[in-house]
C-alpha cells in the first residue's frame, strides 16, 4: 500500500495517536482530514499539519453526525482512499464492583465498535471507487488478552479485532486493504491514569502504521504486543496473567 498521495480521514485526529498519524502522513505528502468532537482541539491540531489538511467536527457515536460526515466526504473529498478508525473511549473500572458496568460497556462499544462499523459501512462506497484503498482500525494489545482494569474496553477492542478480520476477508477480492494497528500502552491523555514505565510514544505508533502499510503487514502488532500475541497463541491463560502483571500459575 502506498504511503504518499493518499487522501485520508482520521477519526480522533485532534490528539494523541490520531494527531501523530495525521502529522506524519501530512508531512509525507498525503491529504489529511481529521475528525473528532472538540472543534478547538481540531483547530489546534490542524495548525500542526502540513499541506492539504482539513478538519470536520463529528461524534462517531451519533448516527446523524456519521451520516453528515459521510455526505461531506462523498461531496467534497470523493478521492478519499484511506479511512483510519482511531477514535476511542475507555473507562477504568472493576466489573466485580462497579454498579454502572452496563452503561460503561455500552458507551465504550458505541465509540470503539458501533461507531467504526457505522462509519466504515458509510464510506465503503467511496473507498470502492478508488483503485488503491485501505481501512485502518486501531485496536489494542487488550484485543488478545483483557486488561482487568479496562475489562469492558478490552471486550470492545476484541469485538473490533474480530470485525476487522471479517472485513479483511470480505474485501479480499477488492482493492481495499484492511489493516489493524495493535499498540501496547501509549503515552497519551487516554492512558494518563494508568501507571506504567513502559508506555511508548504516539509518534512510534504512527511510524509503525506507516511501515505496516508500506509492507502490507495487515496486523501491525507494536512493541510488546508482538510478544503478548506469541504467548497468547500458545497459552491464552498465561498471556492474560502476564498482561495483568499476575504470577503465572
Which residues belong to the active site? 153
Rounded to whole angstroms, the Cα distance separating 196 from 68 reads 39
CB of 104 to ligand NAP, least distance (A): 14
CB of 90 to ligand NAP, least distance (A): 6
Which residues on adjacent β-strands are paired with residue 179?
A: 136
Nearer to ligand NAP, 86 or 164 (CB): 86
Restricted to residues 14-33, the positions that interact with ligand NAP (CB under 6 A) are 14-18
Copy the grid coordinates of residue 136: 485502518
Which residues on adjacent β-strands are paired with residue 68?
A: none
Strands 7-11 and 31-36: parallel
CB 96: neighbour CB atoms within 10 A?
8
Nearer to ligand NAP, 1 or 36 (CB): 36
CB of 173 to ligand NAP, least distance (A): 28
Nearer to ligand NAP, 15 or 231 (CB): 15
CB of 77 to ligand NAP, least distance (A): 18
Which residues on adjacent β-strands are paired with residue 6?
A: none
Binding letters toward ligand NAP, positions 106-125, x by CB under 6 A:
-----x--------------
Query: Would you give the DSSP letter of residue 248?
Result: P
Nearer to ligand NAP, 245 or 247 (CB): 245
8 A C-beta contact, residue 191 and residue 185: yes
Rounded to whole angstroms, the Cα distance separating 10 from 175 reads 20
Distances 114 to 11, 72, 248 between C-alpha atoms, Å: 14, 20, 35
Question: Residue 140 interacts with ligand NAP (CB under 6 A)?
Answer: yes
Restricted to residues 34-73, the positions that interact with ligand NAP (CB under 6 A) are 36-38, 41, 59-61
- The residue within the footprint of ligand NAP, chosen from 6, 26, 86, 118 (CB under 6 A), is 86
CB 1: neighbour CB atoms within 10 A?
19
| CA angle 185–15–189, rounded 5-degree value | 45
H helix runs in the chain, sequence order: 16-27, 39-46, 63-76, 101-109, 115-128, 151-170, 202-214, 224-234, 236-243
- The residue within the footprint of ligand NAP, chosen from 188, 210, 223, 232 (CB under 6 A), is 188
Span near ligand NAP by CB under 6 A; candidates 9-17, 47-55, 119-127, 212-220:
9-17
CB of 115 to ligand NAP, least distance (A): 6
Contacts with ligand NAP, residue ranges (CB under 6 A):
11-12, 14-18, 36-38, 41, 59-61, 86-89, 111, 138, 140, 183, 185-186, 188-191, 202
Amino acid at each position: 500500500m502506498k504511503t504518499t498521495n493518499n487522501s485520508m480521514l482520521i477519526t480522533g485526529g485532534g490528539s494523541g495517536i490520531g494527531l501523530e498519524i495525521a502529522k506524519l502522513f501530512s508531512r509525507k505528502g498525503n491529504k489529511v482530514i481529521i475528525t473528532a468532537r472538540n472543534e478547538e482541539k481540531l483547530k489546534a491540531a490542524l495548525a500542526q499539519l502540513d499541506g492539504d489538511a482539513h478538519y470536520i467536527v463529528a461524534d462517531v457515536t451519533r448516527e446523524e453526525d456519521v451520516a453528515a460526515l459521510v455526505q461531506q466526504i462523498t461531496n467534497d473529498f470523493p478521492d478519499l482512499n484511506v479511512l483510519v478508525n482511531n477514535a476511542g473511549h475507555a473507562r477504568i473500572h472493576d466489573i466485580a464492583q462497579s454498579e454502572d458496568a452496563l452503561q460503561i460497556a455500552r458507551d465504550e462499544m458505541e465509540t470503539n465498535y458501533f461507531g467504526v462499523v457505522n462509519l466504515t459501512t458509510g464510506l465503503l462506497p467511496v473507498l470502492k471507487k478508488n483503485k488503491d484503498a485501505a481501512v485502518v482500525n486501531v485496536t489494542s494489545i487488550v484485543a488478545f488478552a483483557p486488561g482487568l482494569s479496562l475489562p469492558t474496553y478490552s471486550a470492545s477492542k476484541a469485538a473490533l479485532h474480530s470485525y476487522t478480520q471479517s472485513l479483511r476477508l470480505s474485501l479480499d477480492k477488492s482493492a481495499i486493504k484492511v489493516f489493524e494497528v495493535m499498540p501496547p500502552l501509549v503515552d497519551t491523555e487516554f492512558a494518563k491514569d494508568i501507571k506504567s514505565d513502559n508506555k511508548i510514544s504516539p509518534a512510534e505508533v504512527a511510524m509503525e502504521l506507516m511501515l505496516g502499510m508500506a509492507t502490507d503487514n495487515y496486523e501491525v502488532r507494536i512493541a510488546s504486543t508482538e510478544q503478548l500475541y506469541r504467548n497468547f497463541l500458545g497459552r491464552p491463560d498465561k498471556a492474560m496473567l502476564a498482561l495483568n502483571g499476575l504470577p503465572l500459575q
